[in-house]
Amino acid sequence: MISYEPFWDTLKEKNISTYTLINKYGISSSLIHRLRHDLPISTVTVNDLCIILNCDVSNIIKFISE
Protein backbone atom coordinates (compact mmCIF):
# COMPACT_ATOMS: atom_id res chain seq x y z
CA MET A 1 0.00 0.00 0.00
CA ILE A 2 1.21 3.51 -0.78
CA SER A 3 1.01 6.00 2.09
CA TYR A 4 1.35 9.76 1.87
CA GLU A 5 2.27 10.13 5.54
CA PRO A 6 5.71 11.54 4.63
CA PHE A 7 3.96 14.28 2.62
CA TRP A 8 2.16 15.54 5.73
CA ASP A 9 5.40 15.42 7.74
CA THR A 10 7.18 17.39 5.00
CA LEU A 11 4.45 20.04 5.00
CA LYS A 12 4.86 20.46 8.77
CA GLU A 13 8.67 20.66 8.50
CA LYS A 14 8.46 23.30 5.79
CA ASN A 15 5.63 25.14 7.56
CA ILE A 16 3.39 24.99 4.46
CA SER A 17 -0.37 24.61 4.79
CA THR A 18 -2.80 22.97 2.41
CA TYR A 19 -4.33 26.45 2.03
CA THR A 20 -0.99 27.66 0.64
CA LEU A 21 -0.74 24.70 -1.72
CA ILE A 22 -4.21 25.40 -3.07
CA ASN A 23 -4.05 29.18 -3.32
CA LYS A 24 -0.38 29.87 -4.09
CA TYR A 25 0.58 26.80 -6.11
CA GLY A 26 -2.75 25.88 -7.73
CA ILE A 27 -3.03 22.41 -6.17
CA SER A 28 -6.64 21.24 -6.34
CA SER A 29 -8.65 20.49 -3.24
CA SER A 30 -9.51 17.11 -4.80
CA LEU A 31 -5.78 16.25 -4.84
CA ILE A 32 -5.52 17.17 -1.15
CA HIS A 33 -8.49 14.85 -0.55
CA ARG A 34 -6.74 12.04 -2.45
CA LEU A 35 -3.58 12.53 -0.39
CA ARG A 36 -5.52 12.55 2.89
CA HIS A 37 -7.20 9.25 2.03
CA ASP A 38 -4.17 7.49 0.48
CA LEU A 39 -5.85 7.30 -2.91
CA PRO A 40 -3.77 6.94 -6.10
CA ILE A 41 -2.10 9.97 -7.67
CA SER A 42 0.03 10.15 -10.80
CA THR A 43 3.81 10.26 -10.90
CA VAL A 44 3.47 13.65 -12.63
CA THR A 45 1.69 14.90 -9.52
CA VAL A 46 4.38 13.43 -7.26
CA ASN A 47 6.97 15.22 -9.42
CA ASP A 48 5.06 18.51 -9.13
CA LEU A 49 4.86 18.17 -5.33
CA CYS A 50 8.60 17.45 -5.16
CA ILE A 51 9.29 20.62 -7.14
CA ILE A 52 6.95 22.74 -5.02
CA LEU A 53 8.30 21.39 -1.73
CA ASN A 54 11.91 21.12 -2.95
CA CYS A 55 12.16 17.56 -1.70
CA ASP A 56 12.69 13.95 -2.75
CA VAL A 57 10.01 11.37 -3.62
CA SER A 58 10.62 9.68 -0.26
CA ASN A 59 9.41 12.90 1.39
CA ILE A 60 6.05 12.45 -0.37
CA ILE A 61 5.28 8.73 -0.43
CA LYS A 62 6.26 5.46 1.20
CA PHE A 63 5.37 1.87 0.55
CA ILE A 64 3.86 -0.19 3.36
CA SER A 65 3.86 -3.94 2.86
CA GLU A 66 0.45 -5.41 3.64
Q: What is the CATH number of the domain that holds 22?
A: 1.10.260.40
Closest CA to 4 of 15, 19, 18: 18
Q: Check if the beta carbon of residue 46 is closer than 8 Å to that of residue 4.
A: no
**Which residues span the domain enclosing 40?**
2-63
pLDDT class of 66 with cuts at 50, 70, 90: confident
pTM greater than 0.85 (yes/no): yes
Number of independent structural domains in the chain: 1
Burial (CB count within 10 angstroms: exposed 0-12, middle 13-18, buried 19+), residue 60: buried
Model confidence pLDDT, tens digit, residues 4-62:
999 999 999 999 999 999 999 999 999 999 999 999 999 999 999 999 999 999 999 99
